[in-house]
Each structure stands twice: as structure tokens, then as C-alpha cells.
Amino acid sequence: MNALIRELLDAKAAEEAARERRIAAETALLAELQTDKAEGSTTYKLDAYKVTVTAGINRRIDRAVLAHIRADMSPALFKRAIRWIPEVDVTGLRYLQNNEPDAYRVLANAITATPAKPSVKVELVAALPTAA
């Protein structure tokens, strides 16, 4: 078991080191290309390579602020800029499953549930015995 855990930890360390090298290489390449486009794609044709840089801006909603200002906007303009995406509230879904089975059966027709990838967390809690 210790060998499998050590193998997992070594693989995670190698993965992190590879990720750091990739990010450093991307950063150096971006500096050489001197791209400053905030959004969109720019393609560079360089010798045997074609490099496409895609830039974007992450935007997040402050739901509390949005709830207050929604009434101040026309519904048409609001819908033009804000898209409501249904998402499962697992706590509420479990409540229906346990307490309102008829409602749950109806709602379950619209929900597809698939197993998620298991997460493995390893913490060293004691010194490993040394091999003799």
C-alpha cells in the first residue's frame, strides 16, 4: 500500500513540475509574441509552427447585487446580457427525494446523474519506515 501511495505522490509532484514548466514556457512565448489583445484570437505563423493565442476576460456575477439591480433594468435588456442557467441544488434535490417522492420523480426526468471522478487526498501523518 505504501508503494502505491508513494507512486501517487511522485506522479502528482511530476505533474505539478510539468505544469509549472508549461506555464513558464507559455509566459516566455507570450512575452516574445508581444500580444496585448484583451479578448479574441491572434494567429502567428512561425517557421514550421502556427501559434494561436486566445485571450479572454473572466466575468462573474455578484448574485446579491444582481438581485437588487434587476428591477431597475428593462427585462429585455436584462435578458440580453444575463443568461439564467438552471443548476441542481443537491441539498434541495435530496430533500425532495427523501420528503417529496412524487415531486422528485417528476423532476428526476430532467436530471442526468453520472458518477464523478473520485478524488484522492494523501497526507503523510507519520514517518515512513526505512527499508532495511
Instruction: Identify whether 7 is part of a domain.
Output: yes
pLDDT band at 102 (very low <50, low <70, confident <90, very high): very high
Q: Let me know if residue 122 belongs to a domain.
A: no
Q: What is the reported pLDDT for 131?
A: 66
Residue 15 lies in a domain: yes
pLDDT higher than threshold 90 for residue 132: no
Per the domain annotation, does 83 fall within a domain? no
107-119 residue pLDDT tens: 999 999 999 888 7
Angle separating helix axes 90-99 and 101-108, nearest 10 degrees: 130
Q: Average model confidence (pLDDT) for the chain? A: 91
Domain assignment of residue 27, given as a range:
2-58
Q: What is the DSSP string of 2-64?
A: HHHHHHHHHHHHHHHHHHHHHHHHHHHHHHHHT---SSEEEEEEETTEEEEEEE-------HH
DSSP, collapsed to helix, strand or coil, labels residue 77 as helix
Which among 53-57, 92-96, 127-131 has the top mean pLDDT?
92-96
**What's the pLDDT at 130?**
73
| Number of folded domains that form the chain | 1
